[in-house]
Amino acid sequence: MAVTAQQQAAAQPQLVFLDGTFEELALEMAEYLNIASDIQPLVEKNQKEEVLGKLVQASGGLNTVQEKEYTAASNLMIYLVLQSQDPRRYLPTLCNTFAKPITTSPHNGVGLSLNALTTVFNLLPSENPIRARVFLEILKFLKRHAMFDTLRPYLPHLEQWNETWGTDEDFQRSMYEEIAEIASEAGFPEESRRYIIKALRSFDSDDKEELSTEEAQNLALRAIRTALLSNTQYLYQDLRGIPVIEALSDSHPVYYQLLEVFAEQDLEDFNDFNDEHEGWIEEQKLDYDRLYRKMRLLTFASLAAATPSREIPYSNIVRALRIPEEEVEMWTIDAIRAGLVEGKLSQQRKTFLVHKVTYRVFGTKQWQELSTRVDNWKSTLTTVLETLLQGRADVKAQQEREVQELERKLAQANVGGQQGQGGGRRHHQGKQQKERAENAD
């Protein structure tokens, strides 16, 4: 359900400031719940735990109080319970009471209930392990009311809290499963998947008996089903590496076989699986059409990853995906939208040029393909470098030839000038000699 601004304001934790002795406050609470006659004798005998037992037992009456009185009344009840030598005796019942929104406030009841639960949580010392149980009740409350956004601020603290509280694997697994369901119902599949994985990893990988328990197997099957039917998840290698998932190869071999198909095989393998286990997908209530579509997209990714030239002809896509040629562009666009490939279609050349591809698995085969591709790139770059070097050498040689030609022309020009100057000097000397001879006569 949607959370209004008033509900969010009401859900803010409130501190409890109370004045009076335990006996005085207990009698005040008893009068409010109309059980003063039962509490008075116990107070007079100083039977504190018996008083608390009676108050908590009658705490369901808080669900019918007026909205304006609820916070004060719930705070008083919390304060009294925390005076017990063992609050764990009363907190489950009290939290169960608070988890039921008051009937007198249809608009703010959810926020007031959440405020009461968080007040219990916040008033407990941070290292108190009881906090873990209260937090689990808060999770259940948030799940019932689809309040994932309210849960988000808690998530970064989970690891530290679990360490501080000393919670065991069973508790952590329950917590992660609750969070996964809250996220899934709120439409956050990636968050849900992340916490399912955390829950799966909480099983002891060395304890084969624990891995084969019904709880472990059911959670593993749920993880596989969720992953296969997800509209956003296309990679499954990480699931196969989780011990409790691996244990399915013995207990549920058909499920594990289907997971392997989606992890690294192609459409032809999926068809073979379906022929071998005819009707099994329908029996398990898996959506065959959705699985078939996803398998086509995964096959497209594998085809792109296995093409060294990075240029895929339409004909190869038609053959791998078993589609008519007129649907090639549609499926290519779907693969791009799914984030499996990036590239450019060429309608003229009827090819798809791959710019980037997501590898479904990365093992020996993929390393070999990568090595081949790197060798191809290296050869291409070597050719480009050689072409550039040859071009630079050609330019340099041309420049040298031009310089030499220019020097030759300049040299010729200088020689011609010197010859002209020499002829002038001889003419001038001859004229002087003639003038001297005439003067002598």
CA 199 to chain centre: 16
DSSP secondary structure string, 251-311?
H-HHHHHHHHHHHH--HHHHHHHHHHTTTHHHHTT--HHHHHHHHHHHHHHHHHHT-TTSE
Q: In which element (H, E) is residue 345 found?
A: strand 341-346
Most confident of 301-310, 333-342, 421-430: 333-342
pLDDT at 414: 76
pLDDT at 8: 39
Neighbours of 155 (CB within 10 A): 14
Share of the chain above pLDDT 90, in %: 67
Helix (H, G, I), strand (E, B) or coil at 351: strand
Q: Residue 204 domain-assigned?
A: no
Q: Residue 310 domain-assigned?
A: yes
CA distance 418 to 407: 17
- The average pLDDT across 235-262 equals 94
CATH code, domain carrying 326:
1.10.10
Phi, psi of 354 (to 5 degrees): -85, 125
pLDDT at 334: 97
Q: Which domain holds residue 74?
A: 15-123
Question: Counting beta carbons within 10 angstroms of the beta carbon of residue 50, is it exposed (0 to 12), middle (13 to 18) or buried (19 or more)?
Answer: middle
The total domain count for the chain is: 2
Q: Which of 309, 310, 332 is nearest to 321 (CA)?
A: 332
Q: Is the pLDDT assigned to residue 276 strictly greater than 90?
A: yes
pLDDT bucket at 15, cuts 50 / 70 / 90: very low
DSSP secondary structure string, 47-101?
-HHHHHHHHHHTGGGGGGS-HHHHHHHHHHHHHHHTTSS-GGGTHHHHHHHHTS-
pLDDT at 10: 39
pLDDT bucket at 408, cuts 50 / 70 / 90: confident
Q: Model confidence over 288-317: pLDDT tens digits?
A: 999 999 999 999 999 999 888 889 999 999
pLDDT at 1: 38
pLDDT at 381: 86
Most confident of 133-137, 267-271, 408-412: 267-271
Distances (CA, A) of 132 to 75, 90, 162: 20, 15, 8
CA distance 31 to 39: 9
pLDDT at 411: 82
pLDDT at 269: 97
Q: Residue 394 domain-assigned?
A: no
pLDDT at 427: 53
Q: Model confidence over 86-145: pLDDT tens digits?
A: 999 999 999 999 999 998 888 899 999 999 999 999 999 989 999 999 999 999 999 999
pLDDT bucket at 429, cuts 50 / 70 / 90: low
pLDDT bucket at 190, cuts 50 / 70 / 90: confident
Q: Model confidence over 140-183: pLDDT tens digits?
A: 999 999 999 999 999 999 999 999 999 999 999 999 999 999 99
CA distance 22 to 227: 54
Q: Which of 357, 389, 407 is the last residue of a domain?
A: 357
**What number of CA atoms fall less than 13 Å from residue 300's CA on the CB side?**
34
**What average pLDDT does the chain have?**
87
Most confident of 168-172, 229-233, 256-260: 256-260
Q: Which of 314, 338, 357 is the last residue of a domain?
A: 357
CA distance 256 to 253: 5
pLDDT at 304: 94
Q: Residue 190 domain-assigned?
A: no
pLDDT at 2: 38
Q: Residue 134 domain-assigned?
A: no
Tell me which of 182-191, 324-333, 409-418 is least confident.
Answer: 409-418
pLDDT at 410: 83
pLDDT at 18: 63
Neighbours of 242 (CB within 10 A): 18
Q: Is the pLDDT assigned to residue 16 strictly greater than 90?
A: no
Q: What share of the chain is helix, strand, coil (3-state, %, to 5)?
A: 75, 5, 25
Q: Residue 29 domain-assigned?
A: yes
pLDDT bucket at 375, cuts 50 / 70 / 90: confident
Tell me which of 275-289, 332-346, 369-383 is least confident.
Answer: 369-383
Q: What is the DSSP letter of 355?
A: E
CA distance 75 to 14: 9
Q: Model confidence over 54-92: pLDDT tens digits?
A: 999 999 999 999 999 999 999 999 999 999 999 999 999
CA distance 277 to 291: 15
pLDDT at 247: 93
Q: Is the pLDDT assigned to residue 7 strictly greater than 60?
A: no
Angle, helices 130-144 vs 158-165, to 10°: value is: 140
Q: Which of 98, 123, 148 is the last residue of a domain?
A: 123
Give this prediction's pTM: 0.70
